[in-house]
Structure 1
């Protein structure tokens, strides 16, 4: 059994893993995602988001995007779903809105300032306290209306819940069409898909830089796995690591100056660090088994990684300077086969994939208490990635035989499926906050 587990672990953690189960796709990479919310939070904040006045001037409804964002958050219930609008001038009738069951009210309007240019105005009111919470005036071109709507939804989250919203963040993931692979970037809701990289060979393991301007990934375009760093705004990229053997699993340090990577150039796969410009390669582990899937801690002091040094794969932690500093400490104990460590931005949680009787399921571990829980009841979960606010985990799973993206809140209560009709999607990575 141990030899079988080791053989499987080798396929899971090596760069060939993400290629083995990539099914062919038939739909366009530019198709829009469907979103199915399958669960909600314990309690929902009732908010009325009224149809923005004169929104019919726009090719895209900002009201609908705002409503959808708030619904996907798992924290809000919209009490107004129709097309009625209300002026954003003056003061609303707080008693009337309270009687209609709203605790908050969002109003807005659209003013066309020139050809293809608009001013989106929005105001937010606390109905319970009978006070204005301010608002935003956003100048937007036709192409940036979705971004304007996401910014308003983020502002609502901040003003009402006191935390930064993640609707303006971005996702990256890999899809395949025929024999071609595409690394794509989308909004946080899976919409507004843009191609970043096309190839006839597999692309795997995208990883966002902390400033959200670059993505590191592994490409097989040279018939071997090579790690690239891709600048999204310009399309410029560098080959970060093209060593002998496998170059895999890039992960950025919190300051963006280094990446931790996995290399098999000296035999078995080990973990190295490398500067973001490709210089300064340094070996961090020196075991005789497989060490891979490195992830920096939120403060940059440690690296979490997957290793089968104890028999079956488990998650370990070492100094970011290497295990020669203070050894490697085992972190996971509750399940017998664990891979794919991901650390929450606040450093409180570890997400991972556990093999439970042949089912690969997303788990979360509280690093302070050692308590772990399954976030899904799936059998084919892969590639977890935390949202920038640490409230959600994005991952890939199977629904109806197809690979889809899914997101779940860290308490397991709010779940949603993001799918492209007729397509398989995988290797998701959730981008950081953008300043």
Structure 2
């Protein structure tokens, strides 16, 4: 059993975007000057990020040589139907770091929308690319980009389980933990410094908390019976967990430092899979108190639960968007498990996949995308989707079956 500082994975991911949205912004990304000599193709990473968001459509930028200091001929780009243009350069410095610069142009209005420069080691070229995509996304949509955030997920390869931390596009995966026993339910703390997860290394489910930067971990919950389904409170001071220490599976809250848990639910049913609303006031969870699994909510300190899902006879795996507007969950439909999204204000539900083995949805921190696991061609895979289901991207890895994704918070710059 190894809990180690993060080490890079060999597996490389390939992003495949499918579907067409209604109002995608056409953007041209000219290959960055000097990027042929760079180990990362900056403009291609930025374009893949923007396309995966569902908000942008790439425009042919071939045959042009521009950088951040150029004054582009915007008439040409209007003829190519681009609304905006990204140009830049990447230069290797004498100390082996890279100087990455870019500029964003509004082609329609003829405006320079600014740019930035980053001086980074080779290992951070992808991060610099994601930050460029974040800048472009925010300037053109008015909302914060999520490309420099991270995801966590679990793979099973043979009899080995690995817990990974990766960029939001699935690349740059680093192993946080390896075990011959299952690892399930990884979940980020709200500041992105810690992961809680469930390990079966002691032949029963036990909850650990893992420090992402140091690789050190601590035991959080190892009570009699099952310890499972950890969920961080937004303030990071406590977690909700599912324990069977007093009989059936019930919800408890426990300090992030450990100690004695406090029981939240008092039912003869199975209550599990807690998750907090972003403001910390509400816990959503799954219960079969009505005869079959459905999603309920209650105050964060317990109290009388209210049923949330009514369509379908089997609804599990709730995830609430950071803006509080949306609930994503998995519904069993005729034997198939499909990702659904509910608008909480209206109760309107939309099925957004045509796959049959979806699991574990998790919202991006800007509430605009969902990552989930599913089966494609008999293999488990990670997907992202827009909330309307129109734009999906596969994060296709080579590291075995992929499951249990969770999307981390915004990164501090």
Given the two structures, how large is their TM-score scaled by the length of structure 2?
A: 0.95
Structure 1 residues 262 and 422: CA distance shift in structure 2, 3 A? closer
Asked if 1 retains the 8 angstrom alpha-carbon contact of 2:155 and 2:399, the reply is: no
Partner of 2:86: 106
Q: Relative to 1, partners in 2 of residues 1:421 and 1:196: Cα closer, same or farther, differing over 3 Å?
A: closer
Structure 2 equivalent of residue 407 of structure 1: 384
Aligned to 1:87: 67
- Where does 1:239-318 land on structure 2 (aligned, <5 Å)? 239-318=219-298
Match for 2:345 among 355, 368, 389? 368
Q: Is the 8 A contact 2:369 2:386 kept in 1?
A: yes
8 Å Cα contact 1:353/1:361 also seen in 2: yes
Q: Per-residue CA shift, 1:48-99, capped at 9, x if unaligned?
A: 1111112233111111111111121122122135364213214322222212
* Residue pairs, 1:156-195, within 5 angstroms: 156-195=136-175
Distance in 1, matches of 2:325 and 2:259, equals 32
Mapped to 2, the partners of 1:138 and 1:151 lie a distance apart of 9
Spell out the pairing of 1:8-157 with structure 2 (5 A cutoff). 30-82=10-62, 84-157=64-137
Could you report, residue by residue, the CA deviation over 1:128-156 in whole angstroms, capped at 9, with x for unpaired residues? Answer: 11111000111111111000000001100
- What SS is found at the alignment partner of 1:390? coil
Task: Indicate the residue corresponding to 2:305 in structure 1.
Answer: 328
Q: TM-score, normalised by structure 1?
A: 0.91
Higher strand share: 2
The answer to whether the 8 Å contact 1:361/1:378 transfers is yes
Judge conservation of contact 1:40–1:75 (CA < 8 Å) in 2. no
- Unaligned residue ranges in structure 1 (runs of 5+): 1-27
Indicate the residue corresponding to 1:354 in structure 2: 331
Q: Deviations over 1:284-324 (max 9, x none)?
A: 0010010000011121111111000111111111110112x
Aligned to 1:227: 207
Ranges in structure 2 where 5+ consecutive residues have no aligned partner: 1-7
Aligned to 1:24: none
Question: For residues 368 and 105 of structure 2, what CA distance do their matches in structure 1 show?
Answer: 25
CA contact (8 A) 2:232 2:238 kept: yes
Q: Superposition pairs for residues 199-210 of structure 1, below 5 Å?
A: 199-210=179-190
Where 2:109 maps in the other structure, the secondary structure is coil
How far apart are the structure 2 equivalents of 1:72 and 1:115? 34
Q: Aligned pair count?
A: 405
Task: Please state whether the residue corresponding to 2:123 is helix, strand or coil.
Answer: helix
Q: Give the whole-Å Cα distance in 1 for the aligned partners of 2:200 and 2:21.
A: 41
Check the 8 A contact 1:32/1:420 in 2, yes or no.
yes
Question: Using the alignment, how far apart are the partners of 1:383 and 1:149 within structure 2?
Answer: 28
Which 4+ stretches in 1 moved above 6 angstroms? none
Are the aligned partners of 1:29 and 1:177 in contact in 2 as well (CA < 8 Å)?
no
1:415 CA drift (Å): 1.1
In the TM superposition, what is the alpha-carbon distance from 1:111 to its structure 2 partner? 2.6
Distance in 1 of aligned mates of 2:88 and 2:392: 29
SS in structure 1 opposite 2:32? coil
Q: Work out the CA distance in 2 between the residues paired with 1:150 and 1:331.
A: 36
Give SS of 1:265's match: coil
Deviation at 1:266, TM superposition (A): 0.8
CA contact (8 A) 1:29 1:182 kept: no
Displacement after TM superposition at 1:422 (Å) = 7.2
Paired position in structure 2 for 1:428: 405
How far apart, in 1, do the equivalents of 2:80 and 2:332 lie? 48
Deviation per CA, 1:343-396: give whole Å up to 9, x if none: 011111111111111111111111100111101122111111111111111111
Give 1:3's aligned residue: none
The CA deviation string for residues 220-256 of structure 1, in whole angstroms up to 9 with x for no partner, is: 1111111011001001111110111110000111111
